[in-house]
Amino acid sequence: MHIIWTIVALLIVLGVVVFIHELGHFLAARWAGVRVNTFSIGFGPAIVKWHDKYGTQWQLACIPLGGYVSIYGQEDMFDRKKYAELSKEKKKGHYLSVRPWKQFIIIAAGVTMNFLLAWVIYSATFMFHPREVQLPVIGQVIRDSVAFNAGVKPSDVILRIDNSNITNWGELIIAKELASARDANVLIVRGEDLVRVKLSPAERWLPMAAKLNSAKKDSLAQSIPVHVKHIINLKLCWLY
């Protein structure tokens, strides 16, 4: 049963991807004034079909593996002699009747629509799906290290290194590397206070990250003063 549902899911996903791809070709052809004869999801004999007001036949075929758009004259795209022999009436809506840059747009539109589909899916996923982000919270400071001697303490929250705002541990690593050959001015939240420290040289300080559970993260979010959040334009979305 699991295999059957896997196959069904695969066919649905494939159908959506193919539909979006072929829709790109279709819309570009319509925009360019080229006639579309058939828009098919699947191959083989049509199970269901109908015609729109422009004469395009839309159909669902019996073999649900892909699909296609039949654009008038595209099969003769390399045979301009054959196109030249057509009557004026038959040249109307022909693929070769439009300029080359429009022909290129028709061909490229399918792949472009797939890229747009991927962008929409990933954007929606990151927009609505909660993400775990490791906060720039100090978990441990090695005794007698540069950070220890500068006064950095466990549970400090690093907000800024020089001119770079820090909202997660990855940004902390990058900022630390950029400051590796010079002193680093670090802005820290400690309880209700803002603390500034200077670490030198930067390549010798990298405190260990704290692994916080959800309750601890929520507690930390509550503990950061409101005025501090406004000063650094801190977005609490990085807490989740």
Q: CATH number for the domain including 164?
A: 2.30.42.10
Q: What is the pLDDT of residue 30?
A: 95
Of residues 132 and 185, more confidence is placed in 185
- Tell me, yes or no, whether 108 lies in a domain: yes
Alpha helices in 33-99 (DSSP H): 80-84, 88-91
- Domain that residue 179 falls in: 138-239
End residue of a domain, out of 93, 128, 163: 128
Q: Are residues 100 and 161 in the same domain?
A: no
- Tell me, yes or no, whether 61 lies in a domain: yes
- Tell me, yes or no, whether 133 lies in a domain: no
Q: Are residues 29 and 92 in the same domain?
A: yes
- Tell me, yes or no, whether 177 lies in a domain: yes
Whether residue 192 is predicted with pLDDT greater than 50 in this model: the reply is yes
- Tell me, yes or no, whether 63 lies in a domain: yes
pLDDT band at 63 (very low <50, low <70, confident <90, very high): confident
Question: What is the average pLDDT across 105-127?
Answer: 91
Domain count within the chain: 2
Question: What is the average pLDDT across 197-201?
Answer: 76
- Tell me, yes or no, whether 210 lies in a domain: yes
Whether residue 174 is predicted with pLDDT greater than 70 in this model: the reply is yes
End residue of a domain, out of 98, 128, 158: 128
Q: Residues 22, 171, 177, 203: which is the catalytic one?
A: 22
pLDDT band at 190 (very low <50, low <70, confident <90, very high): confident
Q: What is the pLDDT of residue 231?
A: 36
Q: What is the pLDDT of residue 26?
A: 95
Return the biggest CA–CA distance within the chain: 89
Q: Are residues 154 and 70 in the same domain?
A: no
What is the sign, positive or negative, of the torsion defined by CA atoms of 26, 30, 31, 33?
A: positive
Q: Are residues 107 and 180 in the same domain?
A: no
Tens of pLDDT, residues 35-57: 999 999 888 899 999 999 989 99
* pTM reported for the whole predicted model: 0.57
- Tell me, yes or no, whether 201 lies in a domain: yes
Q: Are residues 79 and 156 in the same domain?
A: no
Whether residue 206 is predicted with pLDDT greater than 70 in this model: the reply is no
Whether residue 146 is predicted with pLDDT greater than 70 in this model: the reply is yes
* Mean of pLDDT over the chain: 79
Alpha helices in 59-213 (DSSP H): 80-84, 88-91, 100-128, 146-150, 169-178
Q: Are residues 123 and 41 in the same domain?
A: yes
Q: Are residues 62 and 8 in the same domain?
A: yes
- Tell me, yes or no, whether 27 lies in a domain: yes
Tokens describing residue 156 = 């400090």
CA distance 120 to 122: 6
Is 77 in contact with 53 (CB distance < 8 Å)? Answer: no
pLDDT band at 138 (very low <50, low <70, confident <90, very high): confident
Q: Are residues 33 and 121 in the same domain?
A: yes
Q: Are residues 143 and 119 in the same domain?
A: no
Whether residue 237 is predicted with pLDDT greater than 50 in this model: the reply is no
Q: Examine the residue annotation and report whether 177 is marked as an active-site residue of this protein.
A: no
Q: Are residues 124 and 145 in the same domain?
A: no
Q: Which of 22, 3, 18 is nearest to 63 (CA)?
A: 18
Q: Are residues 113 and 147 in the same domain?
A: no
Tokens describing residue 2 = 């699991």
- Going by the DSSP 8-state scheme, the letter that residue 122 receives in this structure is H
Q: Are residues 142 and 123 in the same domain?
A: no
End residue of a domain, out of 97, 128, 159: 128
